[in-house]
Chains A and B, each alone.
Chain A
Amino acid sequence: MAERGLRPFGSDDGEADPSLERLDDLRTLPAYRDVTRSVVELNAARAALLKAAAGADGEAAGRAAADYHRTLEQVRSALATLKSYVDPAEFQTCLRDLFMPHAEAELGGAAIQESCLGILPRVEILPRVKTLSEENLP
């Protein structure tokens, strides 16, 4: 499975999008930085979970899954806070900036709100602890 996490801002995807220029200001907003930080943690937790899932230690995978879900909640909470600090018209742009998947085509023309909300559950589609244990039984 290819490594494909959520992308925090700042990664260079090539050409600059003029519509995102206003984000240069917002990216330093403390509430925005909190989301960025939590997205980085979520990506790290996801990578750890994938690694644990590939191993034979079901208990470690369970811990990694719990850690992943904890960081996912952090992202949601930070996003809810950010929503209060940005103009509703700008919030969608923030979401796109924060959660743009590596492959733009994945958005598939869906409304951005749905896409962004869809990304989180998609990341969440991971082996459950029980399944992991069963799979890893000798």
Chain B
Amino acid sequence: MIPGFIMRLRGWAVTRLLAVAILCLPAVGSATEQSLGQLLEQLQRPREAVARIRAAEALAHYGEAAVSPLRRLLRHDDEMVRYYACLAFVRLGPRAEAAVPDLIGIVGDPGESEDLRDSAIIALGQIGPAASSALPVLQAILHRRPSLDLRKTVLSALVAFATSEAVAILIERLERGERQEQLIILAAFWQQGAKATPAAGELLAFGARHPDRELRDRVFLTVATFGRDVTADLVPYLQADRTELRRCAALALSRLGPEAVAAVPMLCETLNDTETLVRFWAAKALGNMGPHARWAAASLLRVLDDRDPNVRWEATTAIARIAPAALTEEQWNRLLADPDPGVRQRAAMIRSGSL
């Protein structure tokens, strides 16, 4: 006979596995054919995990109309019912704003299981900035040094809030220097993408003062995933006193590609930087914009005479991507006779149309 607690653990494991499907897959497009009442009833049916998850998924199609009955289910005697109600709120996202106090109640209740609190925190994160009243309770959890899984959920929710208070807590956590937690936070920002744009300035400032080059690169590259709106945050770093920051900014802009087109004038200036690596990454950033940076062609042509072969190589590549016709026959001949074999080879590849 299998002891009850093992059955229960196994049940949680299966449920959590299935729940991942809800959290990871996009919402089903068509509306459910079942009534709200039927779905709520299905959600409470014991020992039917798949049906309950499907019901949680389908309830989201009812939008705000489902919120009120689901809130009542958050007070249900059966913990599993409360859990499935949380899953439904996960899918409802910002439409579940009215349920924030109930979800906070679950999160702050030490008598609730970690799994249930975890689900409630995920739901709060999915609701987004409107759930930021959960900040104190989430912060209290972090202070108690919970399990890594729970900490990860809390940090991801804070990232999803993206309010200045939430970002301040996250920066404070980043400053603590616990590597695993730093990576969790940056991965959560990465997942949020453009929605995390309000945090860009603070994140970059943290990266700029952090001594670890690898982490600094990671911070700048994470910010680059937020999209075009962070261009304005990155551009000032092209003029930073420290070479490392100028390099990081150009590296991040190179990831943005054509979205960083607003940075073209400053990147053109950066091509004259005293540091080789900064010039290299500025040329790379311009090249990654393709024809969108065509008015940078004249500046790049001047870099073909750079003293560093890597910079000449990158400038050649960039011009080929931006405006290959900008190269005169004389410039082609000079590139094909470059003292560095790599640059010569690159020019030959481009000339032959291999690029």
Among the listed A24, A25, A31, A88, which residue makes an inter-chain contact with B310, where contact means beta carbons less than 8 Å apart?
Answer: A31
B266 an interface residue at 8 Å Cβ cutoff?
A: no
Beta-carbon contacts of A16-37 to B below 8 Å, as 1s and 0s? Answer: 0000000011001111110000
> Would B221 and A29 count as touching, CB distance under 8 A?
no
The main secondary structure of chain B at its interface with chain A is: helix
Q: A25-B355, A29-B313, A30-B309 are in contact. Are A85 and B342 (CB under 8 A)?
A: no
CA distance A25 to B217 in the complex (A): 23
A84 an interface residue at 8 Å Cβ cutoff?
A: yes
Chain A nearest CB, measured from B71 CB (Å): 44
Among the listed A24, A29, A87, A88, which residue makes an inter-chain contact with B342, where contact means beta carbons less than 8 Å apart?
Answer: A29
CA distance A88 to B251 in the complex (A): 10
> Would B317 and A25 count as touching, CB distance under 8 A?
yes
List the B side residues contacting A28 at CB < 8 Å. Answer: 313, 342-343, 345-346, 349
Chain A nearest CB, measured from B311 CB (Å): 9
> Would A30 and B340 count as touching, CB distance under 8 A?
yes
Chain A interface: which size bin? 10 to 19
Q: A85-B277, A85-B280 are in contact. Are A30 and B355 (CB under 8 A)?
A: no
Chain A nearest CB, measured from B348 CB (Å): 9
Chain B nearest CB, measured from A62 CB (Å): 35
Interface residues of A in 113-130 (CB under 8 A from B): none
Interface residues of B in 309-338 (CB under 8 A from A): 309-310, 313-314, 317
> Would B313 and A87 count as touching, CB distance under 8 A?
no
* Chain B interfacial residues counted at CB < 8 A: 23
List the A side residues contacting B349 at CB < 8 Å. Answer: 25, 28
Interface residues of A in 29-71 (CB under 8 A from B): 29-33
CA distance A84 to B255 in the complex (A): 15
Among the listed A24, A30, A84, which residue makes an inter-chain contact with B313, where contact means beta carbons less than 8 Å apart?
Answer: A30
CA distance A29 to B341 in the complex (A): 9
B156 an interface residue at 8 Å Cβ cutoff?
A: no
Among the listed B221, B277, B340, B354, which residue makes an inter-chain contact with A84, where contact means beta carbons less than 8 Å apart?
Answer: B277
Residue of A nearest to B221 (CB): A88
Among the listed A24, A32, A33, A87, which residue makes an inter-chain contact with B254, where contact means beta carbons less than 8 Å apart?
Answer: A87
Q: A25-B355, A85-B310 are in contact. Are A30 and B254 (CB under 8 A)?
A: no
Residue of A nearest to B341 (CB): A33
Chain A nearest CB, measured from B234 CB (Å): 16
> Would B280 and A30 count as touching, CB distance under 8 A?
no
Interchain residue pairs with CB less than 8 A apart (15): A24-B354, A28-B342, A29-B310, A29-B313, A30-B309, A30-B310, A30-B340, A31-B310, A32-B342, A33-B342, A84-B247, A87-B254, A87-B255, A88-B217, A88-B221
Interface residues of B (CB under 8 A from A): 217-218, 221, 247, 251, 254-255, 277, 280, 309-310, 313-314, 317, 340-343, 345-346, 349, 354-355
Of all A-B residue pairs in the complex, the 6 with the closest CB atoms, nearest first, are A30-B309, A30-B342, A28-B345, A28-B346, A28-B342, A33-B342
Knowing that A25-B349, A28-B313, A30-B343 touch, tell me 6 more A-B residue pairs with CB under 8 angstroms: A25-B317, A30-B340, A31-B310, A84-B247, A84-B277, A85-B310
